[in-house]
Amino acid sequence: MIKHFYPGLMALVMLQASCAGIRSNPQYTESKTSTNHHKGKSGAVRYAGANSLTERRLFRQIEAYLGVRYRWGGTSASGMDCSGFVRVVYKNAANLVLPHSSRKMYGRGQHISVSNLQFGDLVFFENIESKGVSHVGIYIGDEKFAHASTSRGVVISSLGEKYYRVRYAGARRVHNQ
Active site residues: 82, 135, 147
State how far the Cα of 86 lies from the Cα of 131, in Å rounded to an integer.
21
CA of 170: how far to CAs of 101, 123, 128, 150, 176, in Å? 15, 6, 14, 20, 19
State how far the Cα of 134 lies from the Cα of 49, in Å rounded to an integer.
28
State how far the Cα of 105 lies from the Cα of 44, in Å rounded to an integer.
27
73 Cβ contact partners less than 8 Å away, ≥ 6 residues apart: 15, 16, 81, 84, 100
State how far the Cα of 32 lies from the Cα of 37, in Å rounded to an integer.
9
Of 95, 123, 119, 116, whose CA–CA distance to 46 is shortest? Answer: 119
